[in-house]
Amino acid sequence: MVALDVGGTWLKGAALARDGTALTSLSRSTGAADGPEAVIEHILDALVEVRDHPATGQPAAVGLAVPGIVDVAAGRAVWSENLRWKDVPIRALAEERTGLPVALMHDVRAGGLAESQVGAAAGHANVLFVPIGTGVAAAIIVDGRILDGQGMAGELGHVDVGHTEPCACGGAGCLEAIASAAAIARRYSARSGIQVTGAADVLARKQAGDPDAGEVWAQAVDALALALAIACSLLAPEVIVLGGGLAQAGPELFKPLSAGLSHRLTFQRHPRLVPATLGDRAGCIGAGMMAQALIDKRAETGG
Amino acid sequence: MVALDVGGTWLKGAALARDGTALTSLSRSTGAADGPEAVIEHILDALVEVRDHPATGQPAAVGLAVPGIVDVAAGRAVWSENLRWKDVPIRALAEERTGLPVALMHDVRAGGLAESQVGAAAGHANVLFVPIGTGVAAAIIVDGRILDGQGMAGELGHVDVGHTEPCACGGAGCLEAIASAAAIARRYSARSGIQVTGAADVLARKQAGDPDAGEVWAQAVDALALALAIACSLLAPEVIVLGGGLAQAGPELFKPLSAGLSHRLTFQRHPRLVPATLGDRAGCIGAGMMAQALIDKRAETGG
């Protein structure tokens, strides 16, 4: 299969064997600054380039993961703030350009599918995959199936965790506005007057004993514990996989977050909290799995 | 089919035609005060009575909805506080007594299935069914499938909505501890020193201008709006169906709750908020639908 994960910054492509082995891979700028038309061209060019690579062989399908709101049934990229596109018939465009059937998927759900099947939560039917970076997103797997909700399920970043800071969505109190990597950096700078490059910088200052950094970090962890506990009540995950930049923090994140989550849960299932294992290839691997599922389904129905 | 919904207080049984029409029905005390052994006998007796009723004809299967934690795959009633039973192999017992295949289901999920297919949310694939009575529960339907989570999904009543009152679960801040019908009555009595019979009594006092009643009611509605908004972020329901005793409150509940929910949602899908239409027969109707699904599945696989 040909697989491509379209991120706000990078296109990650690969040709994958049936068992998921990468035969060749590609990584390049999405070119979001050039506007949505250019992004679409870059996507289609990348798909053709992977399709035509000598190592790819004869691919049977394409898996394409895109960000924002995605209407999988209609094959349309409805909206993406990062890519500034709106209602793009991306599946039809990709099928036309590649001559192959295309499985379209939301990027976070593609990553969640991969982590739940061949990554950190392999073997589990009830999984929450939470990438934390510029924002906070979630892919929800229950009873072995990934929730779509017509492209709108999984907005963990906009769960109200009870603070008063405004969120880019227009609301207030959102998890993302206090616990994303970007929010941690922004809130530390606002509090201390010191500009930082990101959440890793805040963590380093916390470890060096900066009380502002310690407070901002603790507030983020508390908010995450609350939001994850809520998700546990509603969805009963066996495993919660944390991904994205913030998951790189290791024990400084996982230890207090596990403790906070355990403290908040009573009769609910207590999930294992683990870091993602597929890194920034998760979306691409998930897209490949969707392409394989499309091939299998067509073989089954003779279509 | 033979269908039975086992509640904490009532057994609601029926023989249902393939189209869901009730051929005969039964309603009697669960007899929870007599202990779990007696409850099991009452359930098995009720199943046989409906099976043998002349109007029932030749039933092909039984649908059985039970409360608490239910392991559908293993056919076991794992735990119920109300019925005081623990790890009862209820499906095998019912199959043995009736000589019919038995579909076992959780009572709230059975009710949600019925409301989402033939009740208040018929025609929608993304539905939240929230019965509010002694507690607050939820059945979650996403992409046309009801979430199970190995019997543990849907604990909306134990979402932390940010108050400090203790909950029967051992935690604090739970929705159920401030917004169930029982909590509304309890909190009003604690605040005013006046004993009331239930939430309907509190509502009547609110309408008569009692400020304590007004405050307790408003706090319950605010907490429900917060919890439902969180569920909307995660699950994107098109319709939220409110059931149980509290939904009888009509516009006094639905009007401020709809306004509070709309106020809290930004880019998320805004669901319609509607009262349940199947009343206390929802669980029984859902159980019948599960029995029919079992028959259809066996016919398909030739089993």
Instruction: Collect all residues with Cβ–Cβ distance below 8 Å to B136 and sequence separation of at least 6.
Output: B130, B156, B157, B175, B176, B179, B180, B227
Extract the runs of DSSP E, i.e. beta strands, from B112-256: 127-131, 139-142, 145-146, 239-243
Give the integer Cα–Cα distance in Å for A18 and B134.
52
Q: How far apart are CA A260 and CA A295, in angstroms?
A: 43
Per-residue pLDDT at A120 exceeds 90:
yes
Q: Is the pLDDT of residue A300 over 90?
A: no
Other CB atoms within a 10 A radius of the CB of residue A101 amount to 17
Q: Using pLDDT thresholds of 50, 70 and 90, give the confidence band for residue B229.
A: very high
Tokens encoding B184:
């509304």
Q: Is the pLDDT of residue A276 over 60?
A: yes
Give how far Cα A120 sits from Cα of A5, A77, A131, B293, Å: 19, 28, 13, 35
In this complex, is the C-beta atom of B137 within 8 Å of any C-beta atom belonging to chain A? no
Contacts of A203 (CB under 8 A, 6+ apart): A213, A217, A249, A252
A2-6/A10-16 β-pairing:
antiparallel
Task: Say whether residue B154 is in contact with chain A using an 8 A CB cutoff.
Answer: yes
What pLDDT is stored for residue B54 in this prediction? Answer: 94
Model confidence band, residue A191 (pLDDT cutoffs 50, 70, 90):
very high
**Are B235 and A147 in contact (CB < 8 Å)?**
yes
Residue A214: exposed, middle, or buried by beta-carbon count in 10 A (0-12, 13-18, 19+)? middle
pLDDT of B8: 85
- Any idea which residue has 């405004």 for tokens? A166
pLDDT, tens digit, 9 for 90 and up, residues B55-85: 999 999 999 999 998 999 999 999 998 899 9
Contact predicate B90/B4, CB 8 Å:
no
Closest CA to A81 of A132, A135, A41, A140: A135
Cβ–Cβ of B159/A236 closer than 8 Å? no
> Which tens digits make up the pLDDT trace of A284-299?
999 999 999 999 998 8
Q: Which one of B152, B224, B232, B264 would you mutate to disrupt binding with A, by most A Cβ within 10 Å of its Cβ?
A: B152
- Spell out which residues of chain A touch residue B171, defining contact as CB-CB under 8 Å: 264-266
Residue B294 has what pLDDT? 94
How many CB atoms within 10 Å of residue A213? 23
Closest CA of chain B from A145, distance in Å = 10
Determine the Cα–Cα distance for residues A30 and B87; give it in Å rounded to an integer: 54
pLDDT (tens digit per residue) in B151-192: 999 999 999 999 999 999 999 999 999 999 999 999 999 999
**Taking CB atoms and an 8 Å cutoff, what residues of chain A touch B147?**
142-143, 235
| Distance of alpha carbon A82 from alpha carbon A34, whole angstroms | 12
Interface of B with A in 233-262 (CB under 8 A): 233-237
Is A236 within 8 Å of B264 when comparing Cβ atoms? no
Contacts across the A-B interface (CB distance below 8 Å):
113
Indicate the average pLDDT of chain B: 95
CA distances from B264 to A289, B221, B256, B268 (A): 36, 13, 12, 10
Q: What is the distance, to the nearest Å, from the Cα of residue B252 to the centroid of all Cα atoms in its chain? A: 21
Percent of chain A scoring above 90 in pLDDT: 92
Phi, psi of A61 (to 5 degrees): -160, 165
Q: Which whole number is the average pLDDT over A68-77?
A: 94
Going by their DSSP bridges, the two strands A145-146 and A139-142 should be labelled as: antiparallel
High-pLDDT (> 70) share of chain B, %: 99
Instruction: Report all structural domains of chain A as residue ranges with CATH numbers, in order of start.
Output: 2-107+280-301 (3.30.420.40), 122-276 (3.30.420.40)
Pairwise pLDDT comparison (B21 vs A268), residue with the higher score: A268
Which of A129, A152, A238 is the best residue to mutate to test the B interface, defined by the most B CB atoms within 10 Å of its own CB? Answer: A152
Q: How does residue A5 score in pLDDT terms, banded at 50, 70 and 90?
A: very high
| Chain position carrying tokens 């929608």 | B124
User: Is residue B27 scored above 80 in pLDDT?
Assistant: yes
Confidence band of A303 (pLDDT split at 50, 70, 90)? low
Q: Encode pLDDT of B241-288 as tens digits.
A: 999 999 999 999 999 999 999 999 999 999 999 999 999 999 999 999
pLDDT reported for residue B303: 54
- Indicate yes or no: CB of B236 within 8 angstroms of CB of A152: yes
Please say whether the beta carbons of A82 and A93 come within 8 A: no
d(CA A50, CA A10): 15
| pLDDT confidence of residue A44 | 98
Q: Which two tokens stand for residue A290?
A: 């969707």
Residue A75 is encoded by which pair of tokens? 């094959």
Q: What is the pLDDT of residues B77-112, one digit of tens each?
A: 999 988 999 999 999 999 999 999 999 999 999 999
> A148 — contact with chain B (CB < 8 Å)?
yes
Burial class (CB in 10 A: 0-12, 13-18, 19+), A244: buried
Structure tokens at A278: 């597929």
In one-letter notation, the amino acid at residue B301 is: T
Per-residue tokens: B17: 């035609």
Contact B109, B63 (CB under 8 A): no
Q: What is the mean pLDDT of residues A241-266?
A: 97
Average pLDDT of chain A, as a whole number: 95
